[in-house]
Structure 1
Amino acid sequence: MTSGDPLRILNVSQNYHVRGGMDVAMFRLEEILRAHGQVVVPFAAADSANRPTEYEHYFPPASPTSETRASDLLRTLYSPRARQAIGRILDEERIDLVHLHSYFKRLTPAILPEIARRNIPIVQTLHEYRAVCPISLLYRDGHVCTDCRGGRYAQVVRHRCAGGSLVRSAWNMAEMRLSDMLGHKKVIARYLAISNYQRDMLIAMGMDGTQIETIYHPVAIPDLAPHAHRDGDGYVLFVGRLERYKGIFPLIDVARRLPAARFVFVGSGPDEAEAQQAAAGLANVEWRGAMSGAALTEVRAKALCAVVPSLGPEPFGLTSIEALAHATPVVASAIGGLTETVRDGEDGFHVPPGDTDALCDRIARLIADPGLARRMGLSGRARAAAEFSPQRYYERTMAVYRQVLPDRRKDAA
Structure 2
Amino acid sequence: MDAMQTGDTELIRAINRFHVLDTIRRFEPISRAEVGERTQLSRTTVSAIITTLLDEGVIYYDEGETSGATKSMAGRGRPRVLLRMNPNAAYVVGAKLSMHQVSITVTNLRADPLACLVLPVRTWRLGAELIADLLEDGIRAAVTKAGITMAQIAGVGVGLPGFIDSVAGISHWSPILAAEPAPVPLARMLSDRLGVSAVIENDANLVTLAERWFGHGQGVDNFVVVTVEAGIGMGLFINGDLYRGHHGMGTEFGHSKIDRHGPLCRCGQHGCVEAFCADYAILREARKIVDLPPTDDEPSIEAAVCEVTRLAREGNEGLRAVFDAAGEILGLGIANLVNVIDPGKVIISGAGMRAADLLEPSVRAAVATNSLKVLAGRCEIVFHDWTDEVWARGAASLVLQGLYRLPWSRNARIEMAI
Hey, which of these two has a bigger chunk of strand by percent? 2
Q: Which has more radius of gyration? A: 2
* TM-score of the two chains, using structure 1 as the length reference: 0.31
* TM-score of the two chains, using structure 2 as the length reference: 0.31
Hey, which of these two has a bigger chunk of helix by percent? 2
